Amino acid sequence: MTATAKESVSLVAATVGTGLMAGLYFAFDVSVMPGLGRGDDQTYVTAMRNINEAIDNGLFGLLFLGTFLATGLAASQQQRGGRPNAARWGWLAFALYGLSMAVTAMVNIPLNNQLALAGPDAAAARSRFGNRWTSGNLVRTVACTAALTALGRVLTLHGRAAAA
């Protein structure tokens, strides 16, 4: 496998992974949270607890962390390959995806943990959780979508360099 082909593998993995994560976050923004918002407090709390338990699995963890690593690797390979413009876009994607991870770690996961431990007052639990979690998720969606856009630019520049 040539160096350019190896670079393409990490770049495609980063792009696909970032697209999947942006799509997941977007689905929560436009369907899951608005749908749950239409229900009663107990249904909302129970459903979010179930979603949080279901998503805590190896496949999601691999995608979540693997995408970050693939994006960093892709940016580094662009830099080492003598494509500074592509590398800048790659590092931007890496930083933006990193922002989505930081928001997950500092906002969404702590709120998920609080919700899991909340007492029987579903209205109070929902009140402490809902708006903050949704706001954090919106930041993740925007960051991942921007990272995906940056990776699209890297793909374009990488492809032009490979064709030259």
Residues 6+ apart with CB under 8 A from 104: 64, 136, 140
- Tell me the backbone φ, ψ of residue 12, rounded to 5 degrees: -65, -40
Say if residue 44 is exposed, middle or buried (CB neighbours under 10 Å; 0-12, 13-18, 19+): buried
CA distance 6 to 159: 13
Mean pLDDT across the stretch 2-29?
Answer: 90
Look over the chain and give the mean of its residue pLDDT values, rounded to a whole number. Answer: 95
Mean pLDDT across the stretch 39-67?
Answer: 97
Residue 2 scores a pLDDT above 60: no
Q: What is the biggest distance separating any 2 CA atoms in the chain, rounded to whole angstroms?
A: 64
Cβ atoms of 148 and 19 closer than 8 Å: yes
Residue 1 scores a pLDDT above 70: no
Residues 6+ apart with CB under 8 A from 130: 33, 37, 44
What pTM was computed for the model? 0.94
Tell me the per-residue pLDDT of 84-140, one tens digit each, with 9 for 90 and over: 999 999 999 999 999 999 999 999 999 999 999 999 999 999 999 999 999 999 999
CA 148 to chain centroid: 10
Residue 162 scores a pLDDT above 90: no
Check residue 109 and give its pLDDT. 97
Residue-number span of the structural domain to which 149 is assigned: 3-163
In 3D space, the residue among 137, 121, 110 whose CA is nearest the CA of residue 41 turns out to be 121
- How many domains does one find in the chain? 1
